[in-house]
Structure 1
Amino acid sequence: MVRTHKNIHAPAPASALHVNNISKSYGTSPALDPITIEVSPGERIALIGHNGSGKTTMMRIAAGLLDASEGTVSIYGQASGSLPARASLSFIADQPTFYDDLTLWEHMEYVARLHGVEEWEQTAADLLGHLGLYDRADDMPNRFSRGLKQKSAIALGFIRPFDLLLVDEPFVGLDASGKEALLELLAVASDNGSTVIVATHELSFVHTVKRVIALRDGRLVYDGPTDG
């Protein structure tokens, strides 16, 4: 059902994600103090912290959507934001946005074709069915409720191949069936060998991981086992 692992033809580097002493400031206001994190291929990690702790900032820097003030980020040995790095990752944002003039199905087609997904129609239909969106395929997702927008963003994030999945607060706005569907997709991604990092407070996901990274006020305060 889900295309989740894109082969990297070069020898796999030791790190799926290497965050090297990155920091971020907005003017004189620090958003992230220097942080260094190493993530091995295939790890499944929960990134936790209160609102404003720096989770979204770190995720956006890792995804190549925001420049760090200092430090570097690499994804499978490639600089974050480079074309090879972007080809290796899928990022699902906490505030999804959509084109005003495309239906959900047209969004799925656009993303799938952009990333060379073969037989994308069946994959799209399976994903939308799994998330309870199949009957909304011809509707405009920019007009959806918060929960339906979140489900749509999840479908778009999973239709493309990836080796690294970064997901920012995906459970917010989801009903019980949506949470269950997302947990199943994340499990499939992990089973297929992808590296999965989810910023969340959702205990049903946190309890499935072996490693937790915690931020507080822009600082790394914990990086270790879930039961630590």
Structure 2
Amino acid sequence: MLAVEGLVKKYGKQNAVNDISFSLQGGEVVGLLGPNGAGKSTTMKCIVGLLRKTAGKIEIGGHDHLSVAAKKLFSYIPETPHVYDLLTVWEHLQFIAQAYHVSDWKEKAEQWIEIYELSDKRDKLGRDLSKGMRQKVSICCALLPDPELLFFDEPMIGLDPKAIKNTKRIFNELKQRGKTILVSTHLIDSVETIADRIMIMKNGNIIGNDTLANLKASFDQGGDSSLEDLFLELTKDE
């Protein structure tokens, strides 16, 4: 579903992403972990086309990542949710439905609004929403077209505990339906229970890419460390 080969992103002479390669299969939830400045968000923005890559090849569903065919296949939820100031919550969903030609969109929109407890906010303008509410609107808009591939950059930040629980449940349901999800996060415990595979980045490099069990077997001799312990060990300064 996603193939990244030799991705490089430079800012001047500095490599933010240093020649990384990885792939994601259908029905897979992959957690992308790393300290601040590791290159997680830069990698994701290069994939979705918000940043111009310096070098490398990226394909989504066999299509070049910048093509219209590729863009029809994925949704992206940024770390900082962006909404339109003068559109209501409902109008955001209507806009996405029309842009992606979603059939029966009103019924689907009602379902997502109910799940994320936005029913009483449906007529509120984007400029009047809190960060948490903006995050919920962004997630609802991303889920409405029923994409094959979803990119979540820090999806849990700003969400209340119930919304976090619902989002984890939705991840599992999407996975069962064969959808592919890449989740970038600092909240290690939020991804430990849902990810099939963990990718760990440090200084623009991927230093670990495997199932949690295999990562523990490779780097933890005792075998009883948590993902947090493993993460801190792998990303510590030398």
1:1-228 matched pairs, under 5 angstroms: 16-202=1-187, 203-227=189-213, 228=215
Structure 1 segments, 4+ long, off by >6 Å, are none
Secondary structure class of the residue paired with 1:99: coil
Counterpart code for 2:53: A
Determine the C-alpha separation between the residues in 1 that align with 2:6 and 2:177: 30
CA contact (8 A) 2:168 2:194 kept: no
Secondary structure class of the residue paired with 1:42: coil
Compute the displacement of 1:123 (Å): 0.7
Deviation string for 1:189-228 (max 9, x for gaps)?
A: 1111111111113313322222100101111110011131
Mind listing any 5+ residue stretches in structure 1 that lack a counterpart?
A: 1-15
Mind listing any 5+ residue stretches in structure 2 that lack a counterpart?
A: 216-238
In percent, how many aligned pairs have the same letter?
Answer: 30
Compute the displacement of 1:141 (Å): 2.3
Larger Rg: 2
Compute the displacement of 1:132 (Å): 0.9
Compute the displacement of 1:174 (Å): 1.0
Determine the C-alpha separation between the residues in 1 that align with 2:192 and 2:78: 18
Counterpart code for 2:5: N
Determine the C-alpha separation between the residues in 1 that align with 2:32 and 2:126: 28
Query: Counterpart of 1:7?
Result: none
Deviation string for 1:56-109 (max 9, x for gaps)?
A: 011111112221101110001100111000001111111111112110100000
Counting helix residues as a fraction of each chain, which structure ranks higher? Answer: 2
Determine the C-alpha separation between the residues in 2 that align with 1:143 and 1:24: 36
TM-score normalised per structure 2: 0.86
CA contact (8 A) 2:113 2:119 kept: yes
Deviation string for 1:32-58 (max 9, x for gaps)?
A: 111000222221111111121111011
Determine the C-alpha separation between the residues in 2 that align with 1:90 and 1:104: 18
Determine the C-alpha separation between the residues in 1 that align with 2:115 and 2:76: 20
Counterpart code for 2:111: D
Secondary structure class of the residue paired with 1:108: helix
Determine the C-alpha separation between the residues in 2 that align with 1:205 and 1:117: 30
CA contact (8 A) 1:65 1:81 kept: no
